[in-house]
Structure 1
């Protein structure tokens, strides 16, 4: 039976703005208060989706969230009509309005952790929505995320969905941005790699001093239990606290893996030799030949990796066994990173080609190619059970492009978020989108 790794990319929402909400994310903070272009952001993301589809990869779409989140503002004491809620929040607590308007759900690498059926005890694909409780503007995402994922992967014979973990610091869960999977082929049992920033209960583990470690060991362990993963099929590794303090807020900013390959920076992990040895041993037991590419710090400094998002790239397997690396334009603009990438493809190793995409609107808010996609490994029968409305086709690309051009603004500043008309624009667009993607009622305004 054939198997596939499907990239479900997040469709950028109509309220894409630079609120500077993510402490620890250098790009998010340094571009705060600039004017954004939601239309351009969405079109850039769609162009990447179409390009991968044209290259023969199976590509999907994950819908954005309703913003501003009026219900969240109501829960914080703002009352009246929806328009009055927005107006009061803008007057009395603008930072809360900005947070309720965040389009951060575009980075669907944080939407959930996904375990393929080949790894799970019950032979189904398991999804656990991430609680994202480290940041208020992201902690309000998971209820809608769960509904959207449930509408996309609805068949209980093939798919199992778990609620987000308890929304407390001890179980901080940031989803697939701290999770990857290694395997010989996507349909065979693999080894799931969980990377955490700190332990919530064991003080022997070191922790960063400047920026928060968003993923806990205990959250990763809980997800592995919920998904029915075996001890032989998981490896837990701690991220280097020193790189978190340099702006590496998720593991996917310092490492990326696919198939039998881990591409990582020299300073990505604590106890690197032990981590690589455990991955090698467990994959070898499953018939896979693990290999790693370590990028030395004297060739690419952590600062350069963070600014270029070299590791927040997509590592994709081609039919001939070679790998393609999808990187943002910022990698080409950084001389040291680009020189390294040229040497990488010339070395005769597994990465045979690098393709560059312009994702400036996402990059300025702190998210590169890997942030924009949630990877789901599916067998042929499971792919057939996915809601077909969310699988990219030339016709869907054309429809979504027209939809974006119809409904999205081409400039958005913080002051614009106080306009109640923005909420109406967003709801009108999303109501139409659920029909395009055949999702049914997934947004609060459609349900309440």
Structure 2
């Protein structure tokens, strides 16, 4: 593979485009839940406590975080494509479990499988795109990757809201997820090609191969100031997304909104987030990573405060769109920053460590939001996490250095 591998977006455009399509299907698997599952907990299973409702996000976040870590390690050891296929095989039963679950515990179990699916498949599509494009277009590549995934989350969240209104909360919304899983598995097995040789080509001599996985974990998490700042920002970003996923539909329903309106609001955040990343990823290749990350975290925090302050559809729509815009500023940029700093010989493992922290934010956010909402109410939970998000942006401003010129 190394002898025939060529770096660059243009040289690898067909394979890059295929991976963008595959990641859209990965995002669709997540989107099938965002509108329907919080309402299913309340209306079908009678789960009342916010902490109990959010257990499915805790299960999802914890397993996705761990799967991200192992995806990086396994991709370096066995190659990217086998890990991608394994992720789809694990995710295939998830929609069926959501359709036929007789109790809330089955929903939680389905989200364990979904977390593994998302960790293995999303991580490998990220790593493979970084492998293909080389150094010059890394931000653009991450913008396309994350945009495809989160536009699919948004569209699926919107359509599942429509299907739930017309046909009920089950099974119709989850039939979309079943088709996504089957198509994703087929494309990955038949048409996706291995990209590990591209990383070896970019890396040149085997610099960094002597680094062990635990050393890469410590470097990414704590020792390197830029990587550690990026890791904490990723965690806080998904902490507030865990709040939005689990509690926003309940907040909007309590405000008297209809299911289609809730579906539109639920879709607006990932829609702006997804579409915006095609611009912000490319912009970060020109102006650098740090200021986009700092500004994006602060915008998210202020917009979360707006969600807690208003009480009508238009106000909520503006606020969630601003959260999406702030997230678009940081999401591809954080991944590009990891790619800037980490050497290709250990980059996949560093991406896995970063995504371990980032997606661990789902679990932390769900637990924190649930406890705060049970004790003080949903709006108070939103205010606290808004403050944490702004503080994260300040940490990036103080601790991170510009990574575009690193290595």
Report the TM range for the smaller structure's normalisation: under 0.3
TM-score (norm. length: structure 2): 0.25
Structure having the larger proportion of residues in helix: 2
Structure having the larger proportion of residues in strand: 1
Higher relative contact order (CA 8 A, sep 6+): 2
TM-score (norm. length: structure 1): 0.23
